[in-house]
Structure 1
Amino acid sequence: MLKGLGQIGDMAKMMKQAQEMQEKVQQMQDDLNNMTVVGESGAGLVKATATAKGELKALDIDPSIFVPSEKEVAEDLILAAIKDAQSKAAEKSQSEMGKITEGLGLPADFKLPF
């Protein structure tokens, strides 16, 4: 259709690829909101569930950690579980983004601004 138009045809192809990439990234962003990861601490005494975008959704805390004299330990376990969930969310997000960049023939470590 654009054969013989040289650079204009290349530009149209690039614009189409950019639009496809934008659609894939938007779909991935939507998917990340539906994926969950679970971070744990204290050998599973505290579990934090977050979306793959890092939004905390739930905490599951074993009641045995609620000993008044161990308040600081309980707080540390809760923070550790949340940090673990956030770390796993970031890894999942990078993994999913890597699938898109790989599919576009971009380097594996290419970072998109999203």
Structure 2
Amino acid sequence: MKDILNIMKQAKEMQAKMAEMQESLAEVEAVGTAGAGMVTVTLSGKGDLKAVRIDPSLIKDGEGEMVEDLIVAAHGDAKQKAEAVMAEKTQELTAGLPIPPGMKLPF
């Protein structure tokens, strides 16, 4: 019975810390690049697109499709970085709790 109460207490503490972490994610920014830095995308920790920068040399007639592909690639790079930050923060938050490996938080 004491173990259950302890687990419930830890879960409640984790829930409060998770809420704090989610708020702080809005402040985190991840920058992804593609095309050797010719396209840069900035995302918030929540995955919201904040900025896109395109090197002026890419803006030429007939190169629109390539620029579009580079934007998608840079977005994917930034999203992967933002998810890595979130996973790291979640791991720090849940250290010591008996959570199955691979379980994604928040639920």
Q: Tell me, yes or no, whether TM beats 0.5.
A: yes
Which has the greater radius of gyration? 1
**Of 35, 52, 57, the match for 1:64:** 57
Structure 2 unaligned regions, length at least 5? none
Counterpart of 2:76 in structure 1: which amino acid?
K
Q: TM-score, normalised by structure 1?
A: 0.80
Unaligned runs of 5+ in 1: 1-6
Q: How far does the alpha carbon of each residue in 1:23-54 deviate from its partner, in whole angstroms, 9 at most, with x for none?
A: 11111111111111100001111100001221
Larger proportion of helix: 1
Aligned position for 1:17: 10
Aligned to 2:20: 27
User: Cα–Cα, structure 1 residues 105 and 62, in superposed 2: closer, same or farther, change >3 Å?
Assistant: same
Q: Distance in 1 between matches of 2:39 and 2:105?
A: 34
Deviates more, 1:14-23 or 1:56-65: 14-23
Greater relative CO, 1 or 2 (CA 8 Å, sep 6+): 2
Query: Number of matched residues?
Result: 107
User: Which residue of structure 2 lines up, in the alignment, with residue 36 of structure 1?
Assistant: 29
Give the 3-state SS of the residue equivalent to 2:52 in structure 1: strand
Q: What TM-score do the two structures reach when normalised by structure 2?
A: 0.85
Compare 48-57 and 95-104 and name the one that shifted more. 95-104
Runs of 4+ in 1 over 6 A off after TM superposition: none
> CA RMSD for the aligned pairs?
1.9
